[in-house]
Amino acid sequence: MAYSSPSVIKDAKVLMVGAGGIGCELLKTLALSGFPDIHIIDMDTIEVSNLNRQFLFRQFHVGQSKAKVARDAVLKFRPHINITPYHANVKDPEFNVDFFKQFNVVLNGLDNLDARRHVNRLCLAANVPLVESGTTGFLGQVTVHVKGRTECYECQPKPAPKTYPVCTITSTPSKFVHCIVWAKDLLFAKLFGDKNQDNDLNVRSSDAASSSKNVEDVFERRKDEDIDQYGRKIFDHVFGYNIELALSNEETWKNRNRPKPIYSKDILSDEPAQQNGNLEKKYESDELSVSAMASLGMKNPQDIWSLKENSRIFLEAFRLFFTKREKEIGNLSFDKDDQLAVEFVTAAANIRAASFGIPLQNLFEAKGIAGNIVHAVATTNAVIAGLIVIEAIKVLKNDIKNYRMTYCLEHPARNMLLMPVEPFEPNKSCYVCSETPLSLEINTNRSKLKDLVEKIVKAKLGMNLPLIMCASNLLYEAGDVEDDMIAIYEANLEKALAELPSPVTGGTMLTVEDMQQEFVCNINIKHRFFLNSYFLYSVKKFLESNTIMLEELNKFIVFLFFSLSSLSHVALR
């Protein structure tokens, strides 16, 4: 018996955002369900690491647009439907509210909070239903968001993501944590863990890949290879050659900053290939106390090393692992209490960060950064994609009573995989869909307009092209700004809020607007003098201590001085 699509499907025009793990499964399911007109937005290109779960892609597609290849793959078995791909960022100006209004429903298969919030606001402004989704390993969820009927995507606060997409880690890092995860879970694991594991650090050119049997594995040490030469070979491969190879794919960098290849000869040109430490005898009795920092005479873990210093630490830590802890190699896993491992990962992360234009961090901060990859599971993506289509059909039918938020969970005791619940009503306190004013507590005498724009309006409120007004006075505007106003806005950014042409003090109401999102938010400013929270914690500990050593007391006094000299703080509620 032939399958007949419901009329709501035959007349539907659907927008998909994301053509990755969920997106591939979703596009296939939409096509097989009879959806005739599908539009796809995705800015990414296909990576080797995608191939184990994004089944529409093949090895020869690596480097090509995900949206375009996904379209071509589906048209091979559903040639009579219309699929329109956009190799672009959904936050680009062309995808405005008018663009969204042409669709009956929007289906999200995104992997980051910022883009999800942006799509949510466009759907609200265009009054188009949104079906949101996400997966993490064996877990996942599908949620329905209809303006005025259910909560919007931002009605409930979202926790900061603690896991990161593999594609971002291996190819397009934008945060230091991405570099830490790369250094810890890929590079460290590859060099010192299971030697048989395969990952994207084995990148070769397409020519080399086609004849890989005859190509030397960079990570294999030759019998006659000096340890320092081996270290520099690894350095040049992961920080130089791999970056150059990535740069050869122009599509990837159209909307991103291009990374810079880093080779050891350019950084350490004035040093010999052998750069041994000077504490050889010290470590003979206690191998776990081996330290590249100590070997190179570097003591303070809160110093931010230069690129040259990071390179020296990287090579010295590499050498010490192979000369002092050789028996452990092949069985090591990263341990934050392993000093040498932390030094190696910090240095590797910093070198990679330098390549991608990301600010470097000290060892103390790097050690405290938590990040872990949860690999996507193809079957979870397939289940979630099916649930998205089910909810999309309900939305098209306007079957409000049967809308469901469905969570893919593990309940072994109850033999339960899926947990459907009825959608919640809109949150009356939501500043996005209910237009509730926000309160911002801030030191208006110390905090600059730049802090407000970067840390609050962009980072916390998720606006891309903000416009900030105090009463009828325009304080700042991003985007297509007239030349004579650019200098004025740049000057305003460097002024304290209370010193602006229209002073922002306690009781001031600011209006912040993003024209692209058609989103407006009012912020009630409350002036407040803040004490550093860690300072207060230190005071508490100081008072609780029964015995205070003189050295500890001196440290406390120094810390007290610096805390009192930097009391600027902001809080958003």
Specify the residue for token string 């509210």: 97
Is 42 annotated in a binding site? The answer is yes
Q: Are 417 and 377 in contact (CB under 8 A)?
A: no
Is 112 annotated in a binding site? The answer is yes
Q: Which residues pair with 39 in a beta bridge?
A: 15, 84
Instruction: Describe the crossing of helices 307-324 and 227-236 by its angle, rounded to 10 degrees.
Output: 130
User: In angstroms, how far is the first alpha carbon of the chain from the final one?
Assistant: 57
Distance CA 422, CA 403 (A): 7
Is 127 annotated in a binding site? The answer is no
Distance CA 252, CA 57 (A): 16
Is 408 annotated in a binding site? The answer is no
Is 528 annotated in a binding site? The answer is no
Is 20 annotated in a binding site? The answer is yes
Is 468 annotated in a binding site? The answer is no
Listed in sequence order, the DSSP H helices in 34-141 are 66-75, 97-101, 113-126
Kindly report the length of the chain.
573
- Of the candidates 24, 167, 408, 521, the residue annotated as catalytic is 167
Is 22 annotated in a binding site? The answer is yes
| The CA-based dihedral angle spanning residues 254, 259, 260, 263, taken in that order and rounded to the nearest 10 degrees | -130
Is 114 annotated in a binding site? The answer is yes
Q: Are 244 and 267 in contact (CB under 8 A)?
A: no
C-alpha closest to that of 316 among 283, 346, 343: 343
Is 23 annotated in a binding site? The answer is yes
**CB within 8 A of 484, min separation 6: which ones?**
none
Q: Beta-carbon neighbour count of residue 462 at 10 Å?
A: 20
Q: Are 328 and 334 in contact (CB under 8 A)?
A: no
Is 51 annotated in a binding site? The answer is yes
Specify the residue for token string 């190696």: 344
Q: Active site includes 408?
A: no
Is 113 annotated in a binding site? The answer is yes
Look up residue 66 and give its two tokens.
């995900």
Q: Which residues pair with 65 in a beta bridge?
A: 45
Q: Are 556 and 534 in contact (CB under 8 A)?
A: no
Is 227 annotated in a binding site? The answer is no
Look up residue 346 and give its two tokens.
């910090």
Q: If phi over 0 gives left and psi between -120 and 50 gives alpha, with beta otherwise, what is residue 366? A: alpha
Is 50 annotated in a binding site? The answer is yes
How do strand 438-442 and strand 519-527 relate by DSSP bridges? parallel
Is 53 annotated in a binding site? The answer is yes
Distance CA 330, CA 190 (A): 9
Binding residues for Zn(2+): 152, 155, 430, 433
Report, as residue numbers or ranges, the catalytic residues: 167
Binding residues: 18-23, 42, 50-53, 66, 111-116, 152, 155, 430, 433
Binding residues for ATP: 18-23, 42, 50-53, 66, 111-116
